[in-house]
Chains A and B, each alone.
Chain A
Amino acid sequence: MASEQGVLYSRALTELTLTFHIIYATIGVGIPLMIMIAQWIGIKKQDDHYILLARRWARGFVITVAVGVVTGTAIGLQLSLLWPHFMELVGHIIALPLFMEVFAFFFEAIFLGIYLYTWDRFENQKKHLLLLIPVALGASFSAVFITVVNAFMNSPQGFDIVDGQIVNISPLLAMFSPAMPTKVAHVLSTAYMTSAFILASIAAYRMLRGSTHLYHKKALYLTLKLALVFSISTALLGDFAGKYLAEYQPEKLAAAEWHFETEENAPLILYGVLDDEEIKYAIRIPYALSILAHSNPFAEVIGLDQFDEDVTPPLYIHYLFDIMVTLGMLLILIALLYIIGLIRKWSFIHSKWFLWIMVLSGPLSMIAIEVGWWFTEVGRQPWILHGLMRTAEAATSNEYVGWMLVLFACLYLLLGAGSIYVLTSMFNRNTVEQELADRKIEKGGDTFES
């Protein structure tokens, strides 16, 4: 058994690695799709601006992929290093999606290498577009398979325990756990959404810096349109995820909503602070929790009173839940205002302050991703396998975890700073205007759809 401190350090190191990895992983899942769409539109419209968009995104993407790959390798190994008991047990039941994730990653890695080094090599840009399909598929399927593993941790199934022995294992049943559909869909949707907002941020930032080139306007319009679609789907899928929680992990939902007593006609609590079991300054929306949980304003929602205190998650996850939802709603609003504004020709969408809001949209979306993950992971405490294995039982007994925590923190600092420095200097040195001139692209299609 691990010491209490060992468990704490193991959790801290896992959290640190994942928090850092998720930034690059989210971009890694979403950007290939955006590159593919830009390339496709470029070919369809015979507009070289979109092709250049794809090219410049791809160049930046390589840097983020590199950090994503190395931190992904880190978390892959840390699972066994920090949680050996967990991996020992899980290996018997859920190794299949882990294994498939590696294949998806392999597939993506091969085609990304080919894609990056065949620019200008194929006469026909359509051939080049075909190479992006396996990249985007591989990236998304890595996310699918790894989320399947995480879903299993939330709702383990596909085996029986008889006298402490695991029997009747069904790897497929374990993969298709109840948490899987909502989780996978939500993860994919948020990754696409965040990537779109981040690319929109960049375009908005360039426009703020005084670039009036049509290229940035096209980029902003394309990315925000995609961002709108994916942020709306994210909200819908988030609602399904809430219904899943009510059914399978009611204590997580109850903790997130500070829903202490089981009751019908349950109100939703927005914001507020918790002071000795007393909720202050909160907005209560009547019936909303019952609607969120069961699509029925009068339905009964299970409260924390149904659970022993030692199996309920920490109550601070309410704040995480609120931040995630608020940011999600705000982002839908930003994208919606821009798109409607373009159609109705509202002038404020070109104003400085609105451009600044759009610059913020990318970082805000990333914050929502992080907070959402902290919510879902902390909301599962004290379990590492819900209802089956406690986090404390799974941690390593190795005594050097604290030191590794320090070392990895330094590593992530270095990688974070390095990637930001390289990305900014890369694009500052070679601006769009310059690259367009270098490549002698005039055929940009001067019709800007609005």
Chain B
Amino acid sequence: MSLEIIGIFVLWLFLFGYVIVASIDFGAGFFNAYSLYRGNQHILNKIIQRYLSPVWEVTNVFLVFFFVGIVGFFPQSAYYYGTTLLVPISLAIILLAIRGSYYAFSTYGNRMPKRYTYVYGLSGLFIPASLSIVFTISEGGFISIEQSGPVLDIASLFTSPLTWSIVVLSITAVLYISAVFLTWYAHYAKDEEATTLLRKYALIWAIPSLITAIGIIVELKFHNPEHFERLVDLWWMFALSVLFFIGTFILIYKRMNYGLAFTLLCGQYYLAFFAYGISHYPYLLYPHLSIFDSFTNEAMAIALIIAFIAGLGLLLPSLYLLLRLFLFNKEYVQGRNDSHV
């Protein structure tokens, strides 16, 4: 396996990690706001707080890891994406900043006024929308290379059905992933009331998330036929992903083994995400930037991979400890052991 492939594989894995943990986070914020609106916030509040409090910072690091990594492994991407993405990424940063800080402000400081809970909940849906624009742009057709450098055609980006489909996909996926995880988590915490409500959300968002995902494959046929061809070649991965989806849905519907349901859900998104990634090969930005012409020099690549392995050696045990102490600690999860500073 070449260094380029290792590099992009590692980054894609971390991006996948971010998609899952951030979806849980964003979705939780939305469900929390929605339940406040419906007047039954007391049902979800505790479950969500208990999950989010010790991990909110860690979520952010997955994103930082991805963008620092991509500049490290593929420095040229900084030039193309950096120049063109100023506006959407800046908006995402601002929303992330407001979200992250107000979460800490309210959890550790004061109780959050109602309107912040709404802003917090809604911002969680705008962030995936603004970040997912990167995926749209990577399909090509929105960036032209001018004398001054690459320029993003904002008008055609905003009128393209592909853009909006990806936005809708990201939002439905966020709500679906989050609902399934929280259903399992609430059940694990023996909070039946919350489980029932979250199970309902999971079932509601399952079908739209599948429909939008399939819709995008169809749209790529018109937007980027070359990419579509490669997607079709990987049909078996998508088929397996759909099977996993059906498995999750049945388990949730029958109120059986939510833990397995969440595992299948991760499998479903892992397969789809990687199949999409593989079919994108070898382009980082179609057709201007491939992983080969943007790759860093060999010395840096090797140094980064060594740093990465050493870093993981440090991180994996730490993450395991975090999970043991909180997510998989029955006493903590069930709220019998709340020892916040």
Residue from the set B97, B332, B340 with the largest chain A CB neighbour count within 10 Å: B97
Choose the segment among A167-175, A284-292, A295-303, A307-315 that binds chain B (4+ C-beta atoms closer than 8 Å).
A167-175
Residues of chain A within 8 A (CB-CB) of B94 are 407-408, 411
Of A81, A98, A169, most buried by chain B (CB within 10 Å of CB) is A81
Chain B window 314-341, contacts with chain A (Cβ cutoff 8 Å), 1 for yes, 0 for no: 1100110110011000001000010111
The one of A113, A397, A419 in contact with B322, judged by C-beta atoms closer than 8 angstroms, is A113
CB-CB contacts below 8 Å: B29-55 with A: 53-55
A415 interface residue (CB < 8 Å to B): yes
Q: Is the CB of B108 within 8 A of A62?
A: yes
Taking Cβ atoms with an 8 Å cutoff, the residues of B that contact A are 53-58, 60-61, 63-65, 67-69, 71-76, 78-87, 89-91, 93-94, 96-98, 100-105, 108-110, 148-149, 151, 296-297, 299-300, 303-304, 307-308, 311, 314-315, 318-319, 321-322, 325-326, 332, 337, 339-341
Interface of B is mostly: helix
A119 to chain B: closest CB distance in Å? Answer: 5
Q: Are B300 and A171 in contact (CB under 8 A)?
A: yes
Residues of B within 8 A of A118 (CB): 325, 339
Give the one of A62, A112, A403, A408 with max B CB within 10 A.
Answer: A62
Task: Given the known inter-chain contacts A66-B101, A70-B100, A84-B78, please indicate yes or no for A106 contacting B341, CB distance below 8 A.
Answer: no
Q: Assess the B72–A95 pair: CB atoms within 8 A.
A: yes
Q: Is the CB of A116 within 8 A of B341?
A: yes
User: Is A353 close to B, CB under 8 A?
Assistant: no
CB atoms of B109 and A422 under 8 A apart: yes
Is there an interface contact between B340 and A117, defined as CB atoms closer than 8 Å?
Answer: yes
Q: Please determine whether B318 and A134 come into contact, CB atoms closer than 8 angstroms.
A: yes
Determine the chain B residues whose CB is within 8 A of the CB of A134 once the complex forms: 318
Across the interface, do A95 and B322 meet the contact criterion of CB distance under 8 Å?
no
Tell me, rounded to whole Å, the shortest Cβ–Cβ distance linking B66 to chain A: 9
Query: Is there an interface contact between B90 and A106, defined as CB atoms closer than 8 Å?
Result: no
From B90, B97, B340, A119 is in contact (CB under 8 Å) with B340
Task: Give the distance in Å from the alpha carbon of A414 to the alpha carbon of B101 in the complex.
Answer: 10
Q: Are A91 and B71 in contact (CB under 8 A)?
A: yes
| A89 contacts across to B, CB distance below 8 A | 75
Where the two chains meet, the residues of A that have a C-beta atom closer than 8 Å to any C-beta of B are 1-2, 55, 58-59, 62-63, 65-67, 69-74, 76-78, 80-85, 87-93, 95-96, 98-103, 105-107, 109-121, 134, 166, 169-172, 396-398, 400-401, 403-404, 407-408, 411, 414-415, 418-419, 422-423, 425-426
Give the residue name and chain of the B residue nearest to A96 (CB). B303
Q: Would you give the shortest CB distance from B331 to chain A, in whole angstroms?
A: 9
Q: Are B68 and A65 in contact (CB under 8 A)?
A: no
B residues less than 8 Å from A408 (CB atoms): 90, 94
- Inter-subunit contact B296/A116 (CB<8 Å): no
* Contacts A59-B108, A95-B296, A117-B339 given; does A81 touch B75 at CB 8 Å: no
Contact between B304 and A96 (Cβ–Cβ < 8 Å)? Answer: yes
Closest B residue to A91 by beta carbon equals B75
- Residue pairs across A and B with Cβ atoms less than 8 A apart, 25 shown, are A67-B101, A69-B60, A73-B60, A74-B93, A78-B90, A80-B82, A81-B85, A82-B82, A84-B149, A87-B71, A88-B75, A88-B79, A98-B72, A99-B68, A99-B69, A99-B304, A103-B314, A103-B315, A106-B311, A113-B58, A117-B326, A134-B318, A171-B299, A396-B82, A398-B86
Q: Which 7 A-B pairs have the closest CB atoms?
A: A91-B75, A95-B72, A66-B104, A84-B82, A422-B109, A87-B78, A80-B82
